[in-house]
Structure 1
Amino acid sequence: MTTYPSKIGSGLVAIFVVILGGIALLMAFQAAWVGLGIIALVSAFIIHLFMTTYYQIEEKTLRVRCGFLVDQRIDITQITSVSETNNPISSPATSLDRLEICYKPHGSVIISPKDKKGFIQHLLTLQPNIEVRLKT
């Protein structure tokens, strides 16, 4: 079993810091301690998701894990393509430097492994017919 941690993108981190930090400052200036506590809980939840997002390849299965929200298993023999994307849609990816994996019959998932090239190479050793589309 090989585990590929998710790349943590500074852009996503900055967005969360600015939004949650701004709201927290506003709550603190208004002495809204309950609201500040809620912001702290939301921040802890987001940090947990960032720290527990990873992708595992074991035999012929790709496992996509994101905290306790996502635990998806994909049969690698069903993967048809891997493409680079910067699609900001909600997904188990902690960076905007992403890969979209399409698989049969009509599924897809967007992920962000830190070692994209190693991850793709590993998939290709198990399923050489995967179409790989990388940006130049």
Structure 2
Amino acid sequence: MPTVYRSKVDVWLFVVLAFAALASLYSAGQTMLSNTPGAILIASLVAAVGFGLPAWLLLSTRYTLEASRLLAQSGPFKWVVPLADIKSITPSNNPLSSPALSLDRLRIDYGKGRMLLISPRDKERFLSDIEAARRAAS
């Protein structure tokens, strides 16, 4: 049975994403008031991207542990890590772009030089569960 772990969210990142979303909605509203041709289309695009993407990232970033793989999802992006390919999992605060909404991260090294940074809310439970799944899979 798959287990889903939500991403931990740093307050500063939440504030940045919320500000970006609200600024986009304000801009879309101002564009609509301009009464220029195409204003509705432009405002809709600005709102969809500027509000939609940050909201999608905040609401969808999660990690699903299945019997043989880890699936990381963040908005429209997905990563699949076969459990058998994991070489190590170590703590990290690397700020590289990743499916993580916190700098309190885990670095997963897998495959041939591949790496994924994630930030499950309950790191201890995640680590315990992934180790148990790796043992069961081998």
**Category of TM-score, reference length = shorter chain:** 0.7 to 0.9
1:125 aligns with 2:123: no
RMSD: 2.4
More strand by share: 1
Are the equivalent residues in 1 in contact too, given 2:21–2:54 (CA < 8 A)? no
More helix by share: 2
* Partner Cα separation in structure 1 for residue 19 and residue 61 of structure 2: 22
- 3-state SS of paired residue (1:127): helix
1:57 aligns with 2:65: yes
Deviation at 1:104, TM superposition (A): 2.1
Gaps of 5+ in 2: 33-38
* Partner Cα separation in structure 2 for residue 65 and residue 22 of structure 1: 25
The structure-2 alpha-carbon separation of the partners of 1:93 and 1:125, relative to structure 1 and needing over 3 Å to count, comes to same
- 3-state SS of paired residue (1:3): strand
Are the equivalent residues in 2 in contact too, given 1:80–1:104 (CA < 8 A)? yes
Task: Output one character per residue of 1:31-86: Cα deviation in whole Å (capped at 9) or x when no partner.
Answer: 4445765553212221112111111111121111122x222211112111112222
1:109 aligns with 2:109: no
Are the equivalent residues in 1 in contact too, given 2:24–2:51 (CA < 8 A)? no
Gaps of 5+ in 1: 129-136
Q: Percent identity?
A: 28
| Alignment-mate amino acid for residue 74 of structure 2 | C
Larger Rg: 2
Task: Output one character per residue of 1:16-42: Cα deviation in whole Å (capped at 9) or x when no partner.
Answer: 3345556766x48xx444576555321
- 3-state SS of paired residue (2:8): coil
The structure-2 alpha-carbon separation of the partners of 1:24 and 1:73, relative to structure 1 and needing over 3 Å to count, comes to closer
1:78 aligns with 2:81: no
| Alignment-mate amino acid for residue 59 of structure 1 | A
Are the equivalent residues in 2 in contact too, given 1:11–1:95 (CA < 8 A)? no
The structure-2 alpha-carbon separation of the partners of 1:59 and 1:92, relative to structure 1 and needing over 3 Å to count, comes to same
Q: Residue 40 of structure 1 corresponds to which residue in structure 2?
A: 47
* Partner Cα separation in structure 2 for residue 20 and residue 57 of structure 1: 30
TM-score (norm 1): 0.76
The structure-2 alpha-carbon separation of the partners of 1:40 and 1:56, relative to structure 1 and needing over 3 Å to count, comes to same
